[in-house]
Amino acid sequence: MSEMVLTTEGDRYVVVTRRFAASPELLYRAHTEPALIQKWLLGPDGWTMPVCISEVRRGGPIRYEWKDGKGGGFYLTGEYLELVPFSKIVHIERMHLPEPTPDNHVETRFETDNGGTLMTMRMTLPNAKTRAAMLATGMEHGMEASYARLEKML
């Protein structure tokens, strides 16, 4: 397990870096193959992704649908802009909450690092309205779940 670092770059971008004990090829596959994406891109505990479309070609569509297990959920659509196996994925995505949020431009890079992989993901910092919509949907449940877990621990 490795420490994830999340920072802002200027006032427009969020940059996330993390190291993994696997090759860039496996990282690339886990980010592009639906059966693999559905296992980890889930956010808070209890969420699932019953629908995952990822057509790995330039202009190929992306669609992720999440369910919170309590009747709630939301979906995301997007397109691949650039794919360089196994080092770079550029795509745009928008969440439907249910109004579509402005396009988020995401660039994900995988570099060999000490026998593993350094991942760097750069995405657009969403505007205030989008952030509020995100907090009001799934991620807030995530916080509630986290607080509930914290209470149990205390």
Partner 1 sequence: MELADPFEMTQPAVSRHLKVLEDAGLIARRVDGAKRPRRLDTAGIKAIEQWLAVMHKALAKNYDRLDDVLADLKRTTSRGERP
> For binding to partner 1 (CB under 8 A), which residues are involved?
1-2, 4, 6, 8, 11, 14, 16, 18, 20-22, 26-27, 29-30, 35-36, 39-45, 125-128, 131-132, 134-135, 139-140, 142-143, 146
Residue closer to partner 1 (CB basis): 80 or 104: 104
Residue closer to partner 1 (CB basis): 6 or 51: 6
Residue closer to partner 1 (CB basis): 19 or 96: 19
Three-class SS state of 59: coil
Shortest reach from residue 59's CB to partner 1, in Å = 26
Q: How far apart are CA 136 and CA 16, in angstroms?
A: 23
Residue closer to partner 1 (CB basis): 12 or 58: 12
Shortest reach from residue 62's CB to partner 1, in Å = 16
Q: How far apart are CA 68 and CA 138, in angstroms?
A: 7
What's the alpha-carbon Rg for the chain, to the nearest Å? 16
Shortest reach from residue 61's CB to partner 1, in Å = 21
Q: How many CA atoms lie within 13 A of 134 on its CB side?
A: 15
Shortest reach from residue 9's CB to partner 1, in Å = 12
Compute CA distances 144 → 133, 138, 139, 147, whole Å. Answer: 16, 10, 9, 5
**89 within 8 A of 82, measured Cβ to Cβ:** yes
**90 within 8 A of 103, measured Cβ to Cβ:** no
Shortest reach from residue 116's CB to partner 1, in Å = 9
